[in-house]
Amino acid sequence: MKKEVIDRLITYAQVDTQSDENSNTCPSTPGQLTLAGLLVDELKEIGMQEVTMDENGYVMATLPANSDKAIPTIGFLAHIDTATDFTGTGVKPQIIEQYDGHDIILNRAQNIVLSPRDFPELSGYKGHTLVTTDGTTLLGADDKAGIAEIMTAMAYLIQHPELKHGTIRVAFTPDEEIGRGPHKFDVEAFGAKYAYTMDGGPLGELQYESFNAAAALVTCKGKNVHPGTAKGKMVNAAKIAMELNRMLPVEEAPEHTEGYEGFYHLSSIEGDVELTELRYIIRDHDRELFEGRKAKLASVVEELQHKYGAERIVLQMKDQYYNMREKIEPVKEVVDIAQTAMEKLGIKPIIEPVRGGTDGSQLSYMGLPTPNIFTGGENYHGRYEYVSADNMVLAVQTIIEIVQLYEAQA
C-alpha cells in the first residue's frame, strides 16, 4: 500500500495543476483538466462504476454497496488544483527512505535545506518514508496526497469484497485553492448523505470548524505630478494605501494569531503614485466577530474617504465561505465515526478548528455535511512541503475503517 500511494502521488504531482484566481474559466487552468482526465481513466481501470467528468472538470465515481443493510451513501473528496503561493511547474518529487532525523538536502546546487532546526516537527518523522520537493517548486501533496489516498482506498475495497460497506461516492474537484471548488459541484448528483474531504495536514487531524471568510480589494487612486512641482497637487496612492494598512490592528494578523483568533491579512499590494491596490483576506471563527472585522475595514475606508475624497478609495468586499460547524454539529455522528475509526487504528484524533477553509466549508452549507481528515503532510504551499508515506497509508486505512463502521452501525 505504501508503494501504491507514493507512485500515485508522484504521478499526480508531475501534472501542473495550479489554479489561477484571475481566470474566469472552470477549471481555471488547463492542467486541471489534464489530471482530471487521467483520474477518470484510473477510476475505470481499478473497477469504479458510474465514472463521470463534466465540462467543468468535476470527476465523480461510485463504488456500489456490497452489504444488504440500509446504509447511507458516504462520499470522499479531494481537490485537483494546487496552491497559487509558489510554483507548481516542473515538480520533481524526491523519496527519502527511513528518514534519519537530520537535515534533508532538497537542492544541493541552490543550498536549499529542509531542517528540523527550522521545522521542529520534522524530528517526529524519524524512520518514516518522506516525499519532498527538490526545493524549486511546491510538491502538491495538498491535495494530491488526498487523491492518492482515496484512489488507493477504493482499489483496496474492490480487491477485498469481504470488507462490507454501503455505497461510496468519490469526487475530485477543481479550484479549491482559489475558493471556487464547490461553486459548480452538483450535490444532488453526488447523492451522498455525508462526505469527508481528505485535505488536512498532519496525522490525526479531524476538523469540522472553519473560518468565516471574506476577501477585500481596496483601490487607492492618486494624482501623479512631477515631484519637482508637486506641492499642493500630488496625491500619492501608495501612501494612502500604507496609511490604510496602519489603521488596522497590527497584532490581528496571521503572524500574530493562532487557535480561534481571527485576523486581517494583507495578501498583496501593487501599485504606484497613480494607483495602488491592496488585497486582504478577513477571517474569524466567530460569526459576530467576523462581521465586526468587515465593518472595521469598511469604517477605515470611510474615514480615509472623508480625508482624501470618496473617489480616491474604493472598497470591494465579498464573503467567501462560513464556519461549517453550524451545519455539521447537528449531525455530529459524521465526526464521531471518523474519530472512532482513527482510534481503532491507534491514531490520536486532533480535533481543532481549520485555520483556513476546505471545500467542506461551502459544501456543508450546500446540504452536504463534510468534515476534513488528515492527509499526512506538512508545510503545504511552499518549497519545504513534504508528506509522510507512512501516514498516507494510515489515511487510506482511516477511509476503509470509516465505511466499515457505517456498515457495522446500520
One domain for residues 78 and 226:
no
16, 176, 359, 378: which one is catalytic? 176
- The answer on pLDDT for 178 being more than 90 is no
Which of 19-23, 252-256, 289-293, 368-372 shows the lowest mean pLDDT across its residues? 19-23
- Identify the CATH number of the domain in which residue 404 sits: 3.40.630.10
d(CA 67, CA 99) in angstroms, rounded, equals: 41
Q: Are 12 and 150 in contact (CB under 8 A)?
A: no
One domain for residues 79 and 190:
yes
Question: Residue 346's pLDDT is what?
Answer: 97
Among 270, 293, 319, where does a domain finish?
319
CA atoms within 13 A on the CB side of 82: 30
One domain for residues 145 and 288:
no
Q: What is the pTM of this model?
A: 0.88
One domain for residues 86 and 14:
yes
Question: Residue 21's pLDDT is what?
Answer: 87
Mean of all residue pLDDT scores within the chain: 95
Among 291, 319, 347, where does a domain finish?
319
4, 16, 81, 401: which one is catalytic? 81
381 known member of a binding site: yes
Q: Are 353 and 286 in contact (CB under 8 A)?
A: no
142 known member of a binding site: yes
One domain for residues 205 and 215:
no
One domain for residues 296 and 363:
no
- Known catalytic residue at 20: no
Secondary structure letter of residue 127 according to DSSP? T
Question: Residue 357's pLDDT is what?
Answer: 73
Report pLDDT digits (tens) over 316-359.
Answer: 999 988 999 999 999 999 999 999 999 999 999 999 888 877 88
One domain for residues 124 and 54:
yes
- Known catalytic residue at 81: yes
Q: Given pLDDT bands bounded at 50, 70 and 90, which one contains residue 279?
A: very high
Question: Residue 354's pLDDT is what?
Answer: 85
One domain for residues 37 and 182:
yes
One domain for residues 11 and 123:
yes
177 known member of a binding site: yes
d(CA 178, CA 208) in angstroms, rounded, equals: 20
Question: Residue 91's pLDDT is what?
Answer: 92
Rounded mean pLDDT of 307-313?
A: 95
Closest CA to 247 of 220, 229, 213: 220
Among 284, 319, 354, where does a domain finish?
319
Domain count, the chain: 2
One domain for residues 125 and 17:
yes
Secondary structure letter of residue 78 according to DSSP? E
d(CA 60, CA 81) in angstroms, rounded, equals: 16
Report pLDDT digits (tens) over 94-150.
Answer: 999 999 999 999 999 999 999 999 999 999 999 999 999 999 999 999 999 999 999
Q: Using DSSP, how many helices (H) and how many strands (E) does the chain show? A: 10, 17
One domain for residues 106 and 161:
yes
One domain for residues 23 and 147:
yes
Instruction: Tell me the residue range of the domain where 24 lies.
Output: 1-209+322-409
- Identify the CATH number of the domain in which residue 244 sits: 3.30.70.360
Q: Which strands sit side by side in the sheet containing 386-388, from one edge to the other? A: 94-96, 130-132, 386-388, 377-378
